[in-house]
Every structure is written in C-alpha cells, then in structure tokens.
A and B are shown apart, each in its own frame.
Chain A
C-alpha cells in the first residue's frame, strides 16, 4: 500500500513502476479493491481544500478530500453541491466521486458531477502533472463547480405509492415515487400542489424524515451490504426491460428514470449477461473486484486511444 502525502510523492509512486489502483475513501469497494499484482494507492493523504471563493461559487480541493468536509465548508456559506454526491456520509472523497462519475438524485435538476468540474490537475501514467480546464464558469471543455441557494431555497418532498406504473408485468409489488422540489419557500406549496394533482395524490414528507430519506438514497443504505450494487444508465422507456430481468433484486430508479441502481444477490457475471442481452451497460460500486464494467461497452475505440495517451504503460488498473 502506498500513501503519498505530497504531489511529488505521488509522482514518484507512479514513476516507480508496477500497476496501481488509486483509492480514496474506499466506499466503492468494487472499484477500489485491487486484484492480484496490483498495488493500492491510497490518496487519503492528499487532502484539503486549497481555495474557496464563495462569491464565484468555486473551490479547489485535493482529490483525497472527503466530500463531507467540503459540504460542511460550503454549508457555512449557504452553498452546496447540488448533484448530491453519493456515499458522502460514508466517507467518499472528491477524487473517487469524480473518477467513478457518480451523482445522486439532485443530478436530475442540476446536472451530474462532470457538469460541476471546472478543471482538473492530475498525475498521468507517466508521473507527469498535467492540467485541463480553468476556474471560470464557462470553460474550454468544462462546466461549473458552483451552486447556490441552500439557505434561500427550501426543499419539499412528496411521497406517492403507486402500483407498478408501466413496469414489467411480472413484478407483483408496487413502487413508490419520490419527488423532491426545491425553490423559493413562498412558491413551493403551489408547485407541490400541482404535482400532487398531476399524480393524483401523495403525502408530504418533512423535517428529519425528509432529510433521512434522501440521505438514505444517496448512501445506498437500502442496499443489502453483501449484495452487489450496480449503476445502470437507462431511460424511462428502458425501465421495463430492466424490470423483466431482475425479479430478485432491489431497484431504485433515480433522476427521473435515467439511472437504475440495482442491488442484487446475483453474481456480477450473471448481471453482466443480463445487461448485455438488453443492450445496457453498468458500473459496479459494491461487489468483488475485477468486474467494474458490466454489460455492453460503447466507444471502446476512443477509450483505448485516450488510455494510450494518458497511461501509455498501463500503470493504472481498472479495478
């Protein structure tokens, strides 16, 4: 195990040779548990917010910084990370969140993690420090790491129990739809009423329970600890095909039907086959190492070319 505490150490570690697997908080074990012959590279020693500019809604932090630490800092200025970084309360780091490319429920309205990255300084597979992006809102190829309004806007959650909706015929159970609204307090009741009218009912959820509900969603507290947990990008119409495949699993559909989180007692191999058969891809967060990517893969030609540039000697292992 390597645990660099300076950028120079990190560069040296990479230049040293051997295959490495970076690890932040270890909250996504399927991605951060090394396989045979791979050395773990613990980045928790590279931690801390380097700069925070509340007026611009931007901050810069080292990759090993815990998301929760950043959130606490932002909160003191009434700001927050609207993409609801998953597993924050369990110790996820910024670097791990960015590398895994995972976002929570809030991504529906405000965009996912990549939409908030303005620039990245990184050590590539040659051990060189390179930089891409900038710090202003509009960027060459990046978007903003900014957001506002925690203090100003209050959230509102409605809960609705519905019969399986358009889901698969085999599913016997029912589903629950959670809708969270955020905005100026005076406008919220009327907006919520509209949604209730549209859905034909629903209860308000407030206070502690409201907060708990979304934390549970972000931190996957609902998933069985010894099951695998897989993120599967879908679209509302594809939900039905996910449903037909997994009678034994638990599914949560997030971001208005754009992500399926599947917790399953199955083996990664069998889920991999299922996903491939319906033309979907998945990323495993919980589960055994060696199976990060499941289902179909697109764009491999480009991915390979990018990998050759950033990591020509294949220092970094995928899991």
Chain B
C-alpha cells in the first residue's frame, strides 16, 4: 500500500501546483468541521475536470490506495478527514453549473458548486434550491449528496435526497455510472436514493441534477419566547398536531441564543430560556389562513413573547442568528462537540429534560439548537480541551445522548452522517445482519474498500486489509464474492 508509485502516476495527470505533497500544502487538509480528528494525507490533488477525478479514482483502485473526496470540509462527523497514507481529491474547482433549465426547473451541477450558489444562479427566475443546511453559503452539493444533508426548511420539502433527480458518478473501482433521470419519477430501484447519503463510500458524484422549486410567494416568520426549553419542545408537538406543515420549526436554547446574539445580533426576545422559530410559507392566501391557526396554537403554548418578522431584512436577521449558532458557540467555549441525533417529535420535551439532567450530572454545559419540526436535535457539548480528561468526558456525554436517542426510538444521525465519529454506534442502532448487509453493499460497490476507508463502519471490519485480516476473512471473502490485494 505504498502510495508513492501512485503519486508518480498522479504526477502524470496533475501539473505542479495541483498535486500537493509538501507538509505546508497538506496540513490544512488534515481535518474537517470536527477538528478532534486529524490525519495528514499522502497527497492532495486539486482536480479541475471530471476526467481528472475519474483517472485519479481509477489509479487509486489500481494501486489499492484509499481516497477521500473533499468538498468544503464542513462535515461535522469527520467525513472528510483524510485516510492515513491516502489521497484527498479536492473538488473545489469543479464548480461548473453545467445546465440550468428554468422551464424544466432543474440545475445540473458539478460537485464543487456551493449549495447557495445554485439558488443564486436561479434566483432571477424566481426559483431556488430548497435544502438549506446552515452551512449553505459554503458547503458543496457533493458534500450534501454524500450526507443527504438537511436544513431548517427540509421539514416541508425533504432533505437532499428528495431534490436530487439524477447523478453521474465514478464508482470506487473507476466505473462511471449514470443514475436516475430528469423526471421526479423513476423506474426500477431507486439508485439515486442509494447513492445519496452513502457518505462517499460508493464513489464520487461528478454531475448532479437538482430539482429547483419556485420561491415561496410569501413568508410569515414567527418568533416565540419561552421560559423553559421543555415548553418550547411541547409547543412543537402542538404545532405538528394542529395539522399545520410549516416550512420550518426550529428551537434554540438560552446558551445558543446567547452565542448567536454575540455573533450576529439577531435581537431575539430578552430573557428567553428558549426561542421557537416557526416559518409559514407559500401562497399569500394560504399563509394568511395558516397564520390564524398558528397564532392560536402559539398563544396557548405558554410563550411569553411572540414576534413576527417585519420585513425581509428582519426575517434574514432571525435566520442568520439560527444559522450562525454552531459556529457562534465558539464564543462561549474553546471546544465543543456538535451532536446530531433524532427522536420522535412527541418525545422532544422528555428528551430535552433528560439532556438537561445529563448535563447537570456531568457538570458540562450543553447548548441546544435543533430542527424541532422533525425531531432532529443538535446538542452542543461545551468543554475546555486544555483541562485534563475534559474531552473524554464530553465524548462520553455525547455518547449518552446518542444512546438516549436510540432508546427513544430515534436515530444516531439526522443529517451530519456517521463518518468517523459515530461509526461505533452503528451496531447499536442496527442488528448484526443489517450492518453486514450494508457492508456487503459497500464491498460490492468498492471491492477494495478504498473510498473513505474507515468511515461509517465500526472499526475492525473496515479499517483496511490489515485490520480485516486481523479479524479474519469477511463473510463475503469466504464466499469468494470479494477479494483484496
């Protein structure tokens, strides 16, 4: 697995300056949005064409050297952390919007295109790309596809997966495939759905066909302040039970509010233990009617202050506060872990109370920001890495919260993916046979397991040939279906 012969071959593809091998060039690629994991790759290639990506992947396969595709490196689960002695394929120069068909309402983009830029490119025609991760001004469509990223407005419109119509991708063994079509309907197995959310383990998306939606004619953004987090959580259940389907339902607790205020001054109600943001959107008449209903629900939910966004600038301010929250927490604490779990919405209040109890028990502050409408929690666990043992305790608390989600019938990730961070929890959520099936699928797509090696699957099974050999042959190997060099 000596990467150097590979690097020699890569030098045949990439001119100087786009094949990075010096420490100063490699260092900044060591980690993603989760900085507690760091690995320096053997090389980074700055690809400029799809052809280069295909050639690189093919070479990696020939040499059996692992690779990691990298968008903007904002993954919060260690998804874009390089593999030791592996190659990083940076896609930030693949930024062509190949086709923008505003009548068919589709955009065909290369993977390095930034999420928000798709909306910007289609804005003049009143269209936009609906999935809006908080990181939308920088995260790439490639990264979104890998993680099936969501955002505040995915409550109503669905996550990335619901907006990707077709894909051109290079599989980890170099085969180029075309999946899906430009129609929202398909025939046969949903292969696009299989690829979206595969965390880079099934290869690299090269061209993605996205569905665009007409920009809602009207927004009504409601900000409600509560004296307790649980009350806000229960309000969510009431909104959902009322039958309304708002564009977004978000909650931030006191610590998160404090951080957002310091960062971007969204001017949330003073003294709130929690704020609830509910956004209605759509045709004007419908929004007006829905608001009448929402007003009653919110009034009865115990909010002590309710505010409406006065204009677009005001609305943007409210959202900027919410979307800056993760990074803004950096103002409150030198280190933090962003956790990502899901619970059934009816158990939100209960979950929040339990998180609070755990926070007290561990004596570690936990800030909460979340996509409340779909029960997707983002507890931010604040700690100071310079204190001995603090990181370990914070991780332990993070683990307890994730187990809590599993126990309540939820999931170990809503949108940030399993990556490196959560691979240990996969077997807690799925049975052995289920994980085994996923692993077989992985091997069928990537016989040498070079794409994002070591991610998603619990270590041991997937840490590469050595580790796998140490634990014996994989069942598929025994059956002669896969083989490794």
User: Which of B41-49, B263-271, B429-437 interfaces with chain A?
Assistant: B429-437
User: How distant is B428 from chain A, measured CB to nearest CB, in Å?
Assistant: 12
Interface residues of B in 154-197 (CB under 8 A from A): 158-159, 161-162, 171, 175, 177-191, 193-197
- Contact across chains for A258 and B184 when beta carbons are under 8 A apart: yes
Known A131-B430, A299-B178, A299-B180; contact A191-B286, beta-carbon cutoff 8 A: yes
- Contact across chains for B290 and A184 when beta carbons are under 8 A apart: yes
Known A115-B162, A138-B150, A141-B148; contact A258-B185, beta-carbon cutoff 8 A: yes
> How far is A311 from B84 in the complex, measured between Cα atoms in Å?
34
Which residues of B come within 8 Å of A, CB atoms? Answer: 101, 103-104, 106, 148, 150, 158-159, 161-162, 171, 175, 177-191, 193-197, 237, 240-241, 243, 245, 283, 285-286, 288-290, 293, 342-346, 371, 374-376, 409-411, 413-415, 418, 429-431, 433-434, 437-438, 440-441, 444-445, 479, 481
Asked if A151 is an interface residue, CB under 8 A from chain B, the answer is yes
Known A258-B184, A312-B481; contact A143-B162, beta-carbon cutoff 8 A: yes
> How far is A27 from B9 in the complex, measured between Cα atoms in Å?
56
- Contact across chains for B444 and A308 when beta carbons are under 8 A apart: yes
- Contact across chains for A140 and B434 when beta carbons are under 8 A apart: no
- Contact across chains for B185 and A259 when beta carbons are under 8 A apart: yes
- Contact across chains for A136 and B103 when beta carbons are under 8 A apart: no
Asked if A235 is an interface residue, CB under 8 A from chain B, the answer is yes
Residue of B nearest to A153 (CB): B243
Q: Which bracket fits the contact residues of A?
A: 35 or more
A-B pairs with beta carbons under 8 A, tally: 189
Asked if A56 is an interface residue, CB under 8 A from chain B, the answer is yes
- Contact across chains for A306 and B175 when beta carbons are under 8 A apart: no
Q: Mark A152-187, 1 if CB is under 8 A from B, else 0.
A: 110000000000000000000000000000011011
- Contact across chains for A55 and B237 when beta carbons are under 8 A apart: yes
- Contact across chains for B285 and A187 when beta carbons are under 8 A apart: yes
Known A136-B411, A148-B243; contact A141-B196, beta-carbon cutoff 8 A: yes
> How far is A182 from B194 in the complex, measured between Cα atoms in Å?
31
Residues in A neighbouring B148, C-beta threshold 8 A: 140-141
> How far is A298 from B162 in the complex, measured between Cα atoms in Å?
19
> How far is A283 from B175 in the complex, measured between Cα atoms in Å?
26
Interface residues of A in 178-200 (CB under 8 A from B): 183-184, 186-187, 190-191, 194
Residues in B neighbouring A50, C-beta threshold 8 A: none
Residues in A neighbouring B414, C-beta threshold 8 A: 138
Residues in B neighbouring A137, C-beta threshold 8 A: 342, 345, 374-376
- Contact across chains for A187 and B185 when beta carbons are under 8 A apart: no
Residue of B nearest to A284 (CB): B187
Asked if A1 is an interface residue, CB under 8 A from chain B, the answer is no
- Contact across chains for A255 and B188 when beta carbons are under 8 A apart: no
- Contact across chains for A235 and B104 when beta carbons are under 8 A apart: yes
Asked if A15 is an interface residue, CB under 8 A from chain B, the answer is no
> How far is A172 from B114 in the complex, measured between Cα atoms in Å?
47
> How far is A111 from B211 in the complex, measured between Cα atoms in Å?
12
Residue of A191, A194, A231, A299 most packed against chain B (CB within 10 A): A299
9 pairs of A and B residues whose beta carbons are closest in the complex: A233-B183, A187-B285, A184-B289, A233-B185, A138-B414, A187-B289, A305-B444, A137-B374, A299-B179
